[in-house]
Homo-oligomer: A and B are copies of this chain.
Amino acid sequence: MSAGSIGDAPVRPIAILGGTGPAGMGLALRWARAGESVIIGSRDAQRAQLAAVAIEQKAGTPVRVRGMENSAACGAADILMLTVPFEAQASLLKQLRPAMTAGSILIDATVPLAAGVGGRASRTLGVWQGSAAQQAAELVPEEVSVVAAFHNVSAELLFADAALDCDVIVCSDDPDASQLTRELAAKIPGVRAVDGGKLENARIVEQITALLIGMNIRHKGHAGIRITGLPPGAYR
């Protein structure tokens, strides 16, 4: 059974909004390889279609990937993955809000890096709501659940063939949406998902990315994190 399906229902597509950047391409590749149906969303439909072709070619096996304009992608799916720079997050969510269907899940990977306003990628901006994910929660319709996840996964390592060596911390106020997201994370080889608790904790997970970026700059690496010391049942 696909994580994107419920019971015997057909596979639910995953729309990756703003999905032509490195993180979106990487997640699309991994999920497509895992048998998920993926829609790449972009401002420009043609650019989205080209990205879909690039993912098909990289995958090496038959996969289900399509490209669409962001609003169309949003309307065609109820699992929505947001992979845009922080400075583009609010305006894109305002634009997409009318296209979101009730009961959708928005998975937000946005990190408020200071680089977005000309500062350093190893520093973050303060977000009034506490985190980029909480800002997202304020901007989507009430019937849409927001989940924060995938902040700390190297985009470069995602858009590649080797298994990863990192965990994904998942924060949400909706336990079902959190679980679905943890199942999607665990479809990426080498990734374990860990429940990070409520959405408000996203503020910490987002910050970790800035710390890892600093390490990457100092050591020319692709830093990720593993959570140790929890019982096996804590990892999915």
Contacts and interface: CB of A to CB of B under 8 A. Distances in A.
Interface of A: 122, 154, 157, 165-166, 169, 194-197, 201, 203-205, 207-208, 210-212, 214-216, 218-231, 233-234
A64 B195 CA distance: 42
B215 A224 contact: no
A56 to B, nearest CB: 27
Which among A205, A225, A233 has the highest number of chain B CB atoms within 10 Å? A225
A215 B170 CA distance: 11
Contacts of A201: 122, 211, 214
B229 A223 contact: yes
Nearest to A207: B204
Contact of A208 (B154, B208, B214): B208
A215 B196 contact: yes
Which among A154, A165, A204, A208 has the highest number of chain B CB atoms within 10 Å? A204
B225 A227 contact: yes
A210 B11 CA distance: 37
Which among A215, A216, A223 has the highest number of chain B CB atoms within 10 Å? A215
Given A196-B211, A196-B215, A226 B225 contact: yes
Given A204-B211, A234-B218, A229 B169 contact: no
Contacts of A210: 204
Contact of A229 (B197, B214, B218, B221): B221
